[in-house]
């Protein structure tokens, strides 16, 4: 019985893809607004639909927490490690002043930012990932052009 189990385990492990489904990364700009640490999971067996969650911050007169979450889709380019990364995120934010120069009279307001994104993602041979994206911030105060740069580890 143990031999059959071991044989099945070996056979199944050869059928596993080298595709890593998990990423943990630092992002400057983007969904976390100024900076964030994020976990992302691909929901398919090959690059495609993914979901992310993280913790970020922004600063006015003090540091404030942001909680970015979102979905994305990886469109594979000719090179199997290069992708167009398109997504939509929502980030909970607390404002106490003038985030992006808006609403100077706000006092402890909580709201959601919607952040569409499109960018280029690259996976390296050493299980690293990096990405650059255009990530405009849309909230109740309007639209602000924004960018993002990410680097992290795949596992």
Domains defined along the chain, listed by start: 21-154 (2.40.160.20)
**The pLDDT value given to residue 140:** 82
pLDDT along the chain (155 residues), means of 10: 47 57 97 95 95 88 86 95 97 67 58 95 96 94 94 97
Strand bridging mode 109-123 / 63-76 = unpaired
Q: What is the largest CA-CA distance in the chain?
A: 72
pTM: 0.79
**The pLDDT value given to residue 100:** 54
Bin 117: left if φ > 0, else alpha if -120 < ψ < 50, else beta.
Answer: beta
Could you tell me the sign of the dihedral formed by the alpha carbons of 70, 76, 80, 83, in that order? negative
Token readout for 26 is 């630092």
């Amino acid at each position: 019985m143990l031999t059959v189990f071991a044989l099945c385990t070996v056979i199944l492990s050869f059928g596993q893809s080298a595709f890593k489904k998990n990423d943990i990364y630092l992002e400057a700009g983007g969904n976390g607004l100024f900076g964030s640490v994020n976990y992302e999971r691909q929901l398919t067996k090959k690059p495609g639909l993914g979901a992310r969650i993280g913790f970020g911050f922004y600063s006015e007169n003090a540091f404030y927490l942001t909680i970015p979450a979102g979905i994305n889709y990886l469109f594979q380019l000719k090179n199997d490690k290069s992708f167009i990364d398109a997504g939509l995120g929502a980030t909970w934010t607390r404002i106490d002043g003038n985030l992006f120069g808006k609403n100077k009279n706000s006092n402890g307001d909580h709201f959601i930012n919607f952040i569409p994104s499109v960018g280029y993602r690259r996976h390296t041979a050493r299980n690293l990932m990096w990405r650059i994206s255009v990530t405009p911030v849309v909230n109740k105060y309007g639209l602000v052009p924004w960018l993002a740069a990410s680097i992290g580890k795949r596992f």
